[in-house]
Amino acid sequence: MKYDFTSVLERHGKDAMAVDSLGNEDWAPKAPEDGFDAIPMWVADMNFPTVPTVQQEIMERAGHPAFGYFTPSEEYYQSIIQWQTARNKVEGLSKECIGYENGVLGCVVSALAAFTSPGDKVLLHSPTYTGFTNSIGNIGLGIVHSPLKQDENHVWRMDYGDMDRKLKEHNIHAAVFCSPHNPCGRVWERWELEKAMEVYRANRCVVISDEIWSDILLNGHKHIPTQSVSEDARNRTVAVYAPSKTFNLAGLVGSYHIIYDKYLRDRVRANGSKSHYNNMNVLSMHALIGAYQPEGHRWVDELCQVLSGNINFACSFIEEHFEGVQVSKPEGTYMLFLDCSQWCRDHGKTVGDVLEAGWKVGVAWQDGRMFHGPCAIRMNLALPLARVQEAFRRLEKYVF
Ligand SMILES: Cc1ncc(COP(=O)(O)O)c(C=O)c1O
């Protein structure tokens, strides 16, 4: 490996919610008891240093002593076009279809507001990313969940009949689609995307496709952009991407949309721009340029190899050692979504007991109930393998 994915990154005192908020906020895991150090396995960022070209690019720009008003450079747009062409096999992407967004969630919310009225309902799959549920509720929209279901091989699948029924029943014309899926880790296959997009087409539903996880692909799985499955999908979809999840840049803020259809694009732009809250930061622009360089491609390839190893280790460990804990092996993302129902039934415990028992011994994992898993825990595996192994040793010894 060219890059370092094995050293433990010291993040304390370096603006990291993952470690500094433990025990300090009621929404964060509790701090460990004496004798245990904390292993951050909750909020979705990584305990790896980013690709060096990000820092180089930011430092080079920071060396010039003026930070006045600016417009995004040609290099910014070309970096995105080249990245999307190489990674996602996107064809015909031009600068006019790309727009800056202050966070992927910000775009999801602002795009929803462009196509709905207060009180309208939005279709989401469940389990679901808690950011969606909170922010959709916050802007006065209702949520209708279409539950994903595990097939006989424990692969999460969409229920197209249920989606169709709910879109019709609730007069829904806007949906949020997550690809790859957080927290279930599905990398949707082409036929699944085609079927889902057919259901949305039949119900004249605008699709906001959150593809923030599209670069984090495990064990050879391939991401297929929602917009690529048909001409209708291309024109029905607001796709949202970012280098933030891929390169550990969430603190720099900076995402972008791709919208081919002019009507959708004008509506989303109008909503995003009129408040003047949706402006790019010059260092964030340079971070993206630094990330989307040839070195970034190589770094992500290595990252995906490391994360695949972590996921493979964890899933095998669970199967061998934690009877009653069930996990559908993720194909993308670095999240595990553990179903502890059987284990809790067998041991007379609640998922809250299990969570607390982990926190006590430094396994700072996350309550899965807010992701609509009634007895679930979400676990972030973007750490050096040695730390993941240590966490699972502690879980075996003290929790399960
Ligand atoms: C599916 C999904 N969308 C959006 C976000 C947040 O993105 P941003 O920080 O750009 O708003 C996350 C973060 O975990 C996520 O998992």
Q: For 185-215, how does the pLDDT look when each residue is reduced to its tens digit (9 = 90+)? A: 999 999 999 999 999 999 999 999 999 999 9
| Residue 58 half-sphere exposure toward CB, CA atoms < 13 A | 14
CA of 320 to the centre of ligand 1 (A): 32
CA of 92 to the centre of ligand 1 (A): 26
Does residue 276 carry a pLDDT above 90?
no
pLDDT of residue 134: 94
Query: CB of 79 within 8 A of CB of 205?
Result: no
CA of 33 to the centre of ligand 1 (A): 30
DSSP line for 123-178:
EEEES--HHHHHHHHHTT-EEEEEE-EE-TTS-EE--HHHHHHHHHHTT--EEEEE
Instruction: Give the mutation target among 17, 42, 102, 105 for probing the ligand 1 site: most ligand atoms within 8 A of CB.
Output: 105
Task: Identify the band that residue 36 occupies on the pLDDT scale cut at 50, 70 and 90.
Answer: very high
Residue with CA nearest ligand 1 atom 9 = 103
pLDDT of residue 208: 98
Around ligand 1, the residues with Cβ closer than 6 Å are: 44, 103-106, 129, 131, 178, 182, 210, 212, 242, 244, 250, 255
Q: What gap in Å lies between CA 350 and CA 341, rounded to an integer?
A: 8
CA of 134 to the centre of ligand 1 (A): 12
Measured from the Cα of 333, ligand 1's closest atom is 16
Other residues' Cβ atoms within 10 Å of the Cβ of residue 102: 18
- Average pLDDT estimate for 56-83: 98
In terms of C-beta density within 10 A (0-12 exposed, 13-18 middle, 19 or more buried), how is residue 185 classed?
buried
Query: CB of 53 within 8 A of CB of 295?
Result: yes
Measured from the Cα of 255, ligand 1's closest atom is 10
pLDDT of residue 275: 84
Provide the mean pLDDT of the chain. 97
Ordered strands of the 255-258 beta sheet: 98-101, 255-258, 237-241, 206-210, 174-178, 121-126, 142-147
* Three-state DSSP state, 237: strand
Identify which of 292, 270, 321, 255 has the alpha carbon closest to the alpha carbon of residue 102.
255
Distant-in-sequence, close-in-space partners of 170: CB < 8 Å, separation ≥ 6: 121, 123, 142, 144
Measured from the Cα of 101, ligand 1's closest atom is 10
Whether the full predicted model's pTM is greater than 0.95, yes or no, is: yes
Identify which of 159, 187, 184, 217 has the alpha carbon closest to the alpha carbon of residue 327.
184
Task: Identify the band that residue 274 occupies on the pLDDT scale cut at 50, 70 and 90.
Answer: confident
Q: What gap in Å lies between CA 124 and CA 128, rounded to an integer?
A: 7
